[in-house]
């Protein structure tokens, strides 16, 4: 492939005059500036709407590219489970899906359910989320869900870890999590 084609410049056709080439290049440059201006305006809107969580302007995402950590909620859950000794792979591609967290030895997918996966002001998952979860299960994965409402209602890391130890599938629970939960129960008695 020609070097000029890689950087977006097109070579002059044999039947194109020098003046026509200059005009075409000016038009391409004007269109590139216009495109950049639109991108900057989109970024300003994202920045106004999402603040620090806005995707930076310089980062270009393709259809197949995805960050391994999808949102701050995902990061929190992943860091807590990793700190507890559970080795997870984040952002694993499986068929048409990018899975939030995957535990290979038990073939378990842990999906966080942020607020956009729920109908407004309800605890009901959207039909798109339900179909996604059904398809992940049909692909043969064990699936564990962590809804944002529950996560936000738990104030401390210990409470969250305790909740995870109760709600993760039994084959995925760490002895440390179970032991910690049992110690708390004994202390409460």
Average pLDDT, the chain: 80
Lowest mean pLDDT among 28-37, 79-88, 114-123, 174-183: 174-183
pLDDT range class, residue 97, cuts 50, 70, 90? confident
Q: Is-above-0.85 flag for pTM?
A: no
Residue 134 near residue 145, CB atoms below 8 Å: no
Mean pLDDT of 46-68: 64
Per the model's pLDDT, the better-predicted residue between 95 and 5 turns out to be 95
Distance CA 100, CA 117 (A): 14
Q: For residue 80, what are the CA distances in angstroms to 122, 143, 164?
A: 26, 18, 10
Phi, psi of 36 (to 5 degrees): -65, -40
- The pLDDT of residue 189 is 63
Number of helices (H) and strands (E) in the chain: give both, helices first: 7, 4
Q: Where are the domains of the chain?
A: 3-49, 72-188
- The pLDDT of residue 5 is 44
Segment 100-158, tens digit of pLDDT: 999 888 889 999 999 989 999 899 999 999 999 999 999 999 999 999 999 999 989 88
**CATH superfamily to which 72-188 belongs:** VSR Endonuclease (3.40.960.10)
């Amino acid at each position: 492939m020609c070097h000029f084609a890689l950087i977006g410049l097109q070579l002059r056709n044999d039947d194109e005059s020098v003046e026509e080439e200059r005009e075409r290049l000016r038009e391409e440059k004007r269109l590139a500036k216009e495109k950049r201006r639109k991108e900057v305006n989109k970024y300003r809107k994202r920045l106004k709407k999402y603040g620090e969580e806005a995707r930076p302007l310089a980062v270009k995402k393709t259809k197949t590219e995805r960050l391994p950590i999808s949102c701050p909620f995902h990061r929190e859950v992943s860091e807590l489970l990793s700190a507890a000794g559970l080795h997870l792979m984040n952002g694993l591609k499986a068929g048409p899906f990018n899975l939030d967290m995957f535990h290979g030895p038990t073939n378990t997918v842990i999906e966080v359910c942020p607020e956009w996966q729920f109908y407004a002001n309800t605890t009901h998952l959207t039909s798109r989320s339900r179909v996604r979860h059904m398809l992940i299960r049909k692909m043969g994965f064990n699936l564990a869900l962590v809804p944002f409402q529950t996560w936000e209602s738990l104030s401390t890391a210990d409470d969250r870890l305790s909740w995870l130890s109760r709600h993760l599938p039994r084959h995925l629970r760490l002895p440390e999590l179970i032991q910690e939960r049992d110690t708390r129960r004994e202390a409460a008695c």
